[in-house]
Structure 1
């Protein structure tokens, strides 16, 4: 990862350049607030995030996850990868159970520090202990 000044704030030109480099079409980039997304309910077919939410100042990151899932269409999928330690997120197993009780399907919480993506030592060395992927379908 590169963490230079070009990532210090929203940079639409850089986002466009990255999407073109990856051959990704049909994109729209805008600056926003993850705590209160400026989108109607159920507008996206899929939502994804990779190591973002732990950087958002909040005492309730589960609430931020629910805000993200609010924008997901019925039948849409979500894949959210982050440092979901108890200190940052609270009890994520209970949150996954809550999503199932709310009608979400195929909800899984996958620990990514147990060898498939990285070893526990690598996770600790890179500051990624507690990394998990939350996946499912609305």
Structure 2
């Protein structure tokens, strides 16, 4: 398993010891952490059985978030699972219904877009809790 555990407001704050400490606290033994570029992943095609992202992609520089999603899918094995939880606004991602159809047209068999929002992201208090780290 390869993973990133990013803490702090800036990517430069990446801390290998902190990532390893968090993995140990969760009982994860088969993880490695490395610095990378999500726009151009340094992994061969079909490297992973599963890929997850939780509130990361909207922060990545670049306007074409759909291209970013396609880069992620490039490293996913056929039959693998990709789950993303993010701020999927049309401003950031474009028309996601069209993108879902594009993925189906490309041969992806099970593509689901599940909207988990109720119109608001979170309260300022909840947002503040997300910034806690350590």
**Alignment of 1:15 onto 2:19:** yes
Cα distance in 1, alignment partners of residues 109 and 36 from structure 2: 28
SS at match of 1:105: coil
1:131 corresponds in structure 2 to none
Residue 130 of structure 2 corresponds to none
Matched, 1:66 2:64: no
Q: TM-score, normalised by structure 1?
A: 0.79
User: Which structure 2 residues correspond to residues 1-138 of structure 1 after superposition, within 5 A?
Assistant: 4=8, 9-114=13-118, 120-121=119-120, 123=121, 125-126=123-124
Q: Which has the higher strand share?
A: 1
Structure 1: gaps (5+ residues): 115-119, 129-138
Tell me the alpha carbon deviations over residues 79-101 of structure 1, each in whole angstroms, 9 at most, x when there is no partner: 01110100011111111111111
Q: TM-score, normalised by structure 2?
A: 0.81
CA RMSD of aligned residues (A): 2.3
C-alpha offsets along residues 42-88 of structure 1, whole Å, 9 cap, x if unaligned? 01010000000000011101101100110001111110111010001
Partner Cα distance (2:29, 2:100) in 1: 32
Runs ≥4 residues deviating over 4 A: 3-8
- Partners in 2 of 1:7 and 1:61 — Cα distance? 18
Supply the distance in 1 between the matched residues of 2:41 and 2:10 (Cα, whole angstroms).
23
